[in-house]
């Protein structure tokens, strides 16, 4: 499906850390944080061990706990909701827009109650959420806003890189992302106080002086120096990698345009740059996505469904009583989207192979 793009400079950066003998709580993490903050245009960045941990820290730092509600999208990876559940708060879902697949601001506003403490929009597939409307909602109702930008490094909202606003915004660097640290993530923010709290929380509640005495309850969510070294090296050629992904997406766009019944997702106008986390295609209503995936697999083409609706996951459905039909746009998107093979080195021959298989499958030839 996807593959990390690792070069010799990445390897040399990690080896240099190993040879240094300081493999955690060292200077490379700080350099990576500063470089990433500069890249997105943020004042501060805090590196942690993974995206789920980053979301959890943002929920914790916002003081969200039992009885509180967080309005979020049901069309996302499970971590978006799980991070809320970690603090025994309640994820309250609002449906998504049909074109962007991101949180619908009007429906988000309707989901706000007196118990709502935050909104958690998800920049799914690198598509920018309607942050103008969502930020206005948060400000008007006195809510925290936590952006799940795990799939959106390099994407832009109205000409500004996601993560460059006041934040916080969370980026993931799992190996299937646009850049990788192996496991790892970063939180950007314009709030110096919040950045300090996040640095303490990720390090067992210790204060920034480095003293072993913990100032608050915290977690072992640190990023290692090896991961930071890989991230720093990857960040240095991120624009090159994003250009390669855009080229691969363009090949898919052209190839799929000639195949009835399927189309590649496209950036909505507010997404002035889509950084192409994945090549996500949508099938026409009435086509059986799961059968298409099975038929592609029989032809040696791996494809995956993206995503299962969060409100129908067993531990959420059973606890909160959600059911099918509650969020029709999300459920329609979940039935119709699939991820095609996608990585930085994907070429015309690769895309044509996928296209030929799709033509056969969608025409019903053995599908």
Average pLDDT of the residues in 94-117? 98
Q: Where are the beta strands (DSSP E) in 40-182?
A: 44-48, 69-72, 90-93, 116-120, 144-145, 147-148, 156-157, 160-161, 169-172
Contact between 338 and 305 under an 8 Å Cβ cutoff? The reply is yes
364: pLDDT confidence band, cut at 50, 70 and 90?
confident
Cis omega (within 30 of 0) on the bond before 168? yes
What are 205-261's pLDDT values in tens digits?
998 766 667 788 999 999 999 999 999 999 999 999 999 999 999 999 999 999 999
Average pLDDT of the residues in 38-66? 98
DSSP state of 279: E
Average pLDDT of the residues in 44-58? 98
Q: Strand, helix or coil at 176?
A: coil
Average pLDDT of the residues in 112-134? 98
Q: Strand, helix or coil at 246?
A: helix
DSSP states of 29-49 as a string?
HHHHHHHHHHHHT-SEEEEES
Average pLDDT of the residues in 122-137? 98
pLDDT at 366 over 60: no
Q: Interhelix angle for 27-40 vs 225-236, to 10°? A: 30
Domains recognised in the chain with CATH numbers: 8-236 (3.40.640.10), 238-303+341-362 (3.90.1150.10)
Nearest Cα to 96, choosing from 86, 107, 104? Answer: 104
CA distance 272 to 348: 25
367: pLDDT confidence band, cut at 50, 70 and 90?
very low
Tokens 């501060």 belong to 44
**C-beta atoms surrounding 84 within 10 Å:** 26
Residue 207 is predicted with a pLDDT of 81
* Strands lying side by side in the sheet with 144-145: 90-93, 69-72, 116-120, 144-145
CA distance 45 to 39: 10
How far are the Cα atoms of 127, 247, 250, 344 from residue 347, in angstroms, in the given order? Answer: 24, 9, 11, 9
Tokens 């038929």 belong to 295
Residue 210 is predicted with a pLDDT of 61
CA distance 75 to 86: 19
How far are the Cα atoms of 148, 256, 266, 334, 336 from residue 280, in angstroms, in the given order? Answer: 18, 11, 9, 11, 10
Residue 1 is predicted with a pLDDT of 61
How distant is the alpha carbon of residue 170 from its chain centre? 8
What are 306-342's pLDDT values in tens digits?
999 999 999 999 999 999 999 999 999 999 999 999 9
The structure tokens listed for 153 are 């490094």
How far are the Cα atoms of 25, 65, 172, 367 from residue 179, in angstroms, in the given order? Answer: 22, 32, 9, 35
What integer best gives the mean pLDDT of the chain?
Answer: 96
Residue 231: partners with Cβ closer than 8 Å, 6 or more residues away = 32, 36, 47, 173, 179, 180, 181, 184, 186, 223
The structure tokens listed for 53 are 């941990």
What are 158-206's pLDDT values in tens digits?
999 999 988 899 999 999 999 999 999 999 999 999 999 999 999 999 9
What are 201-211's pLDDT values in tens digits?
999 999 876 66
Average pLDDT of the residues in 110-129? 98
Q: Where are the alpha helices (DSSP H) in 288-364?
A: 289-298, 314-320, 328-336, 348-362
Q: Is 213 exposed, middle or buried (0-12, 13-18, 19+ CB in 10 A)?
A: exposed
Average pLDDT of the residues in 23-49? 97
Contact between 79 and 54 under an 8 Å Cβ cutoff? The reply is no
């Amino acid at each position: 499906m996807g593959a990390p793009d690792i070069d010799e400079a990445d390897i040399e950066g990690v080896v240099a850390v190993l040879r240094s003998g300081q493999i955690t709580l060292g200077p490379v993490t700080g350099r990576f944080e500063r470089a990433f903050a500069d890249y997105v245009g943020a004042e501060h960045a805090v590196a942690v061990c993974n995206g789920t941990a980053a979301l959890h820290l943002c929920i914790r730092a916002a003081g969200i706990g039992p009885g509180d509600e967080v309005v979020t999208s049901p069309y996302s990876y499970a971590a978006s909701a799980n991070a809320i559940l970690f603090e025994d708060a309640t994820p309250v879902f609002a449906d998504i827009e049909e074109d962007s697949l991101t949180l619908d601001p009007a429906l988000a506003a309707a989901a706000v109650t007196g118990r709502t403490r935050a909104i958690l929009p998800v920049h799914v597939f690198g598509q920018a959420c309607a942050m103008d409307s969502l930020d206005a909602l948060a400000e008007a109702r006195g809510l925290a806003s936590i952006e799940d930008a795990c799939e959106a490094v390099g994407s832009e909202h109205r000409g500004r890189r996601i993560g460059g606003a006041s934040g916080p915004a969370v980026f993931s660097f799992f190996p299937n992302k646009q850049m990788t640290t192996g496991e790892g993530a970063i939180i950007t923010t314009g709030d110096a106080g919040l950045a300090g709290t996040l640095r303490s929380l990720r390090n067992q509640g210790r204060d920034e002086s480095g003293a072993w005495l913990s100032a608050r309850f915290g977690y072992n969510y640190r990023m290692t120096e090896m991961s930071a070294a890989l991230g720093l090296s990857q960040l240095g050629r991120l624009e090159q990698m994003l250009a390669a992904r855009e080229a691969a997406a363009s090949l898919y766009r052209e190839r799929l345009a000639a195949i009835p019944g399927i189309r590649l997702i496209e950036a909505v106008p507010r997404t002035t740059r889509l950084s192409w986390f994945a090549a996500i295609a949508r099938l026409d209503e009435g086509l059986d996505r799961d059968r298409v995936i099975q038929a592609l697999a029989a032809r040696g083409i791996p494809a995956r469904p993206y995503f299962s609706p969060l409100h129908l996951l067993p531990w959420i459905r059973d606890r909160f009583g959600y059911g099918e039909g509650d969020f029709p746009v999300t459920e329609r998107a979940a039935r119709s989207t699939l991820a095609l093979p996608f990585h930085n080195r994907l070429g015309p021959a690769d895309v044509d192979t996928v296209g030929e298989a799709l033509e056969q499958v969608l025409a019903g030839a053995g599908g």
